[in-house]
Structure 1
Amino acid sequence: MAGKRFIEAYKSFFNPKPVSPPFLHVCQVGDPVLRTATRPVEVEHLDSPEIKQVILQMKQVMKRYDSVGLAAPQIGIPLSMILLEFSPKRKEQFGAEVYAAREMSTLPLTLVINPKMDVIDYSKVELPESCESIRGYSAVVPRYKAVRLSGMDEKGEPVVLEKKGWLARIIQHEMDHLHGKLYIDCMTSRTFQNDGWHRINVHQGRVKIEFHKK
């Protein structure tokens, strides 16, 4: 009997059962869901168990990956929902000089359903950007300086944000996800890099990128 249990465990490890979205990991570039235009969430479905589960798992994944933004397609769900957050700890993480230079500011965890974006300031700012769906890489991306975001929260209440600088960049990045776009579509291509290139050289290639956060 013990031998049979071992064989079953062995099979489950090497042949895991398919998992259906919403996922508890972030989908990676190449997954068709990241190139799919999202559908709006019907107001009458906001209170459904399915939508509540998607929102819950978006929040769990956001926390697990320590992200500043996440769109529903990134966990396998082609619905028009984004999460945004820029906590006070980011100032220490980036340093005061970078924090000021990139016009960073705090934003509590904010869910926006069926978001619409309008550009307030059409000036373009070029800064490095990365994405959990292209894990381990970054590039310089031009973004509008200021935008207005409008939508609703999980209770159907209106949400309106007017943001500039880094938060405007995060909003534009997440809105792109809802239209099947990634930053690699609008980046300055010659700046695209593996962020661990130096570490890879130091360790003679013996470096790995984790695609799952515990």
Structure 2
Amino acid sequence: MRQRPIPGTSGLVRTMTLLGDPVLHAPCAEVTEFGPDLDRLVEDMFATMYAAQGVGLAANQVGVGQRVFVYDCPDDEDVRHVGHVVNPRLVEADGYEVTGPEGCLSLPGLEAGTTRFDRAVVEGVDREGRPVRVEGTGFFARCLQHECDHLDGTVYVDRLAGLRLRRAKRGIRKAPWGQREQARAYTA
């Protein structure tokens, strides 16, 4: 088995897709071809996530409508989890429901209290097609649920209601990127 370099070191930083872009609001397609193109996508996603100082990134956040996400995220005990999942399925989300701050690289500068389960399990494969199972608790569970949502065409503000939703929409309208036609249509 060959040793891989640190994720993202050979990747290129891609342009971040912002709220309102249609690719963020449509379910992503299953990956059916494994090889150099998928390897390049995963490496570029790590590089992009690190450049944006995020803890997770879904492929549609860089304009690619495929079911892939990467992560480098601590749990509540500060244990670092680094990896990627291709064709992920959220198979378990349980435990306590916790409302905590959540942000998104596709909504830069915004954050809102969002309710998530404090335990999540995702199954899928790696970029070579080998089965993977990732279990997370606390903040890492939030990350896993957030990234799976992205691949289903959902952004965290879609989970908000009432005052939190109104505040998020107001923040979107005030954000420089919120002036784009696609983002304005989202907050109408």
The TM-score normalised by the length of structure 2 is 0.76
Give the superposition deviation at 1:182: 0.5
* Contact 2:13/2:51 (8 A) holds in 1: no
Q: What percentage of residue pairs aligned between the two structures are identical? A: 29
Count of equivalent residues: 161
Equivalences for residues 1-214 of structure 1 within 5 A: 24-42=14-32, 45-47=33-35, 49-86=36-73, 103-191=76-164
Q: CA–CA distance in 1 between the matches of 2:98 and 2:81?
A: 24
Q: Structure 2: which 5+ residue stretches go unaligned?
A: 1-11, 178-188
Q: CA–CA distance in 2 between the matches of 1:188 and 1:127?
A: 14
User: Deviation per CA, 1:102-123, whole angstroms, max 9, x where unpaired?
Assistant: x353233201000111225253
Bigger Cα displacement from structure 2, 178-187 vs 154-163 = 154-163
Report the RMSD for the aligned CA atoms in angstroms.
2.5
Q: CA–CA distance in 2 between the matches of 1:104 and 1:65?
A: 23
Q: CA–CA distance in 2 between the matches of 1:116 and 1:136?
A: 28
Q: CA–CA distance in 2 between the matches of 1:86 and 1:162?
A: 12
The TM-score normalised by the length of structure 1 is 0.68
Bigger Cα displacement from structure 2, 71-80 vs 52-61 = 52-61
Q: CA–CA distance in 2 between the matches of 1:84 and 1:157?
A: 18
Q: Structure 1: which 5+ residue stretches go unaligned?
A: 1-21, 88-98, 198-204, 210-214
Q: CA–CA distance in 1 between the matches of 2:29 and 2:176?
A: 35
Q: CA–CA distance in 1 between the matches of 2:41 and 2:96?
A: 35
